[in-house]
Amino acid sequence: MRRQILPLSLCLILAGAMPAFCCATDAPAVAAQTADSAPHGKYYRTPGIIDIHVTPLPPGIVREVDVPVVMRDGRKLYVNVYRPEGAGPSPVVLAATRYGKDKFGPGAYEAWAKASGYEIGRMTISEFTPFEAPDPAFWVPHGYVVVHADVRGAFKSEGNIGPNTEQDTLDYYDLIEWAATRPWSDGNVGLSGVSYLAFNQWPVAALRPPHLKAIMPWEGITDHYRDNAFHGGIPETRFRISAYTIGLENTRNKSFGIAEDYPAMLKAHPLFDEYWQQKAAKLELINVPALVCATWSAQGNHSRGSFEGFKRIRSREKWLFVHGRVEWPTYYAPESTALQLKFFDHFLKGESNGMQDMPRVRYEVRRTRDEHEVRYANDWPLPGTRYVPYYLQATTHRLQRQPVPTAAQASYVSERGGKSEFDLRFSRDTKLVGNMKLKLWVSADDADDMDLFVGIRKLDQSGDEVHFVGFGGNPNDIVTRGWLRVSARELDDRRSTPWQPYLRHERVLKLRPDEIVPIEIEILPSGTLFERGSTLRLVIQGTDLIDDRVLRHDDSVNHGRHTIHTGGRFDSHLLVPVITD
């Protein structure tokens, strides 16, 4: 273990795609070619890639490096501790990461941007901020201890690294209780972090560690099967594999192995069985105060789970922060950190600061990719939402308010980019906020199964598409989307609502020849203003809606033509959530 009181100087060590900082008292600052000197740190700019301001850690912060923490099975996990010099016991902000507690700076974001092709955006972090983790330069001067831990098997931590195993959750429990009992701790521990550092908070909070006083999951899935491994029963074939196989292999402690063969598990467990039940967070057991961040912009990864987490946890004191932008700059933005501080000051320090009077839901209604309105409510789904059905008309390819009296069909070739589209032109400004649901009657001409990809696009008054920010920073995404493998159509009636179907995923229901079946597709939450004269376009097709380098579904069952049945007894319709001022 090394203990340092850090000076203002720093040096940047380029370590592949993940730069790390080290302390060097008299060494000149060395940085990548894209870095520009500034009085208080450096700016890392690559046009269309990153624009990150990296600042020095303020003086007077004690940094303890590679502190060993012994788990209940004897394995050691290693942590870094940042605490105020000379201060008494303080509350702790803890984050457990598999991306490296010692991997700092803009390198991880630049690597993501280059791999995805998407711009990260502008943000400010300190020289000792790991990827997606709380920034000690912000928290320690506000009277907190920050602890960054490498999860089991990552980098120096011992044991077999695994994708979200039960052992990982037990380790997090032990880290919380260890941090609460150190001399520098006052016994109050809160959790914070983005993505991986968010979704590992849900299962450990369900175990109710005695010293865990609040959680702050910033965009984190809660159900690995439904949220990102099998979208509507369709396997996701790119992000999951790369994140867990390449990622785990590159970050693991080479003295140990990998806990499970995740790609093999994906093939062995195509249905929601005990394997996936073990990985799903037991949300109903969570009772600690929670500040949950959800987003319109991470569909297919974090969006669904964050909203489900907020709805289902039993915490009496919970808040929801909803945005439609890139996750990382939003996490570190001044508005976000001010709310985060207010939340932890109240629940970790006991300050009476007005947190209890804050509206429980803060959300954004997007007009365009760059324009949005911030609004507030006291619950989710939003109280007073009107769920309005619009019926598909196959002959005109329009959506209409009244049921269609005459049966008709619309069809497309499923494998080669064919699609059916249905338009709704608005006669007045309309805000749609929440889940949509698509009810369809479908059949397949030459197959016993169908993969359906459903999207909502916005067209302006001139008929040009309005784009929005998507997962990982995609600047040309659509409003929202949903998926369904028709053989996975069986609903859980107990958990479904009129506006959000919940699929069981416990058995396969193949189509019989010429069989027409009713299906319901969950369309992920979104918040969008459709101005008078603008158009909502419903798209139904057999392939991914956009050419995304991050999320893909390349293992399709589609063959031949898909047919959508509308009108008469075929009440195919889109249910939309309308809110009023």
Q: What CATH number corresponds to the domain at position 550?
A: 2.60.120.260
Q: For residue 377, is it within any domain?
A: no
- Report, as an integer, the average pLDDT of 347-365: 98
- The label of the residue with tokens 């059949």 reads 443
What whole-number distance in Å separates Cα of residue 467 and Cα of residue 474?
10
For residues 393 and 354, membership in a common domain is answered with no
Specify if 367 maps to a domain: no
The residue-averaged pLDDT of 276-292 equals 97
Virtual torsion, Cα 256, 262, 263, 267, nearest 10 deg: 140
pLDDT at 243: 76
pLDDT at 1: 58
User: Among 379, 375, 335, which Cα is nearest to 529's?
Assistant: 375
Residue 23 has pLDDT above 50, yes or no: no
Query: Within a domain: residue 380?
Result: no
| pLDDT for residue 14 is more than 60 | no
pLDDT confidence band for 22 (50 / 70 / 90) = very low
pLDDT at 11 over 70: no
pLDDT above 80 (res 12):
no
pLDDT value at position 241? 82
Backbone angles phi, psi at 235, to 5 degrees: -65, 135
Residue 304 in this model has a pLDDT that exceeds 50:
yes
Residues 120 and 251 in one domain: yes
Contact residues for 274 (Cβ-Cβ < 8 A; gap 6+): none
Classify residue 374: in a domain, yes or no: no
Tens digit of each residue's pLDDT (9 = 90 or more) over 184-195: 999 999 999 999
pLDDT of residue 548: 85
Does residue 103 surpass a pLDDT of 80?
Answer: yes
- Domain of 123, CATH number, reads 3.40.50.1820
Instruction: Give the pLDDT band (50/70/90) at residue 21.
Output: very low
pLDDT value at 318 more than 50? yes
pLDDT of residue 250: 84
What's the pLDDT at 39? 59
Q: What is the pLDDT of residue 20?
A: 30
Q: Is the pLDDT of residue 206 over 50?
A: yes
| Phi/psi at 371 (5° precision) | -125, 135
- pLDDT band at residue 37 under the 50/70/90 scheme: low
Distance of CA 196 to the CA centre of its chain: 9
Of residues 240 and 419, more confidently modeled? 419
Tell me, yes or no, whether 395 and 541 share the same domain. Answer: yes
User: Which one-letter amino acid corresponds to residue 434?
Assistant: G
Structural domain total, the chain: 2
Judge if 306 and 428 occupy the same domain.
Answer: no
The answer, yes or no, to whether residue 15 has pLDDT greater than 70, is: no
CB 103 within 8 A of CB 537: no
The residue assigned the tokens 């280059």 is: 114
pLDDT over 80 (residue 10):
no
> Is there a domain that residue 376 lies in?
no
Mean pLDDT, rounded, for 85-105:
95
Same domain, 352 and 390: no
Query: With 60 as the cut, is the pLDDT of residue 18 above it?
Result: no
User: In this structure, is residue 370 part of a structural domain?
Assistant: no
Strands (E), 85-173: 90-97, 122-126, 145-150
Q: Are 535 and 479 in contact (CB under 8 A)?
A: no
Give me the residues paired with residue 150 across strands.
97
Q: How far apart are CA 107 and CA 116, in angstroms?
A: 14
**Are 206 and 59 part of one and the same domain?**
yes
Asked whether residue 345 falls in the same domain as residue 401, the answer is no
Task: Let me know whether 327 and 437 are in one domain.
Answer: no
Whether residue 278 is predicted with pLDDT greater than 80 in this model: the reply is yes
Provide mean pLDDT across the span 301-313. 97
Q: What is the mean pLDDT of residues 422-445?
A: 98
Contact 394, 566 (CB under 8 A): yes
pLDDT of residue 47: 87
Note the pLDDT tens digit of each residue in 159-172: 999 888 999 999 99
Question: Does residue 110 sit within a domain?
Answer: yes
pLDDT-based confidence at residue 242 (cuts at 50, 70, 90)? confident
Residues 98 and 194 in one domain: yes
Q: Do 74 and 180 belong to one domain?
A: yes
Percent of the chain with pLDDT over 90: 84
Of the candidates 329, 520, 537, the residue with the CA atom closest to the CA atom of residue 442: 520
Q: Are residues 446 and 528 in the same domain?
A: yes
Neighbours of 249 (CB within 10 A): 11
Mean confidence (pLDDT) of the chain:
92
Boundaries of domain holding 40 = 2-358
Q: Give the bridge partners for 215, in sequence order.
A: 191, 290
Question: CA 483 → CA 242, 390, 400, 471, 472, distances in Å?
Answer: 21, 19, 23, 16, 19
Mean pLDDT of 401-413: 97
Q: Domain check: are 427 and 308 in the same one?
A: no
In the predicted model, is pLDDT for residue 133 greater than 70? yes
pLDDT band at 4 (very low <50, low <70, confident <90, very high): very low
Overall average pLDDT of the 415-441 stretch: 96
What is d(CA 472, CA 328) in angstroms, rounded to the nearest whole number? Answer: 9
**34-38, 353-357, 412-416: which range is least confident on average?**
34-38
**Residue of 46 and 53 predicted with greater confidence:** 53
Look at residue 371 and tell me if it is in a domain.
Answer: no
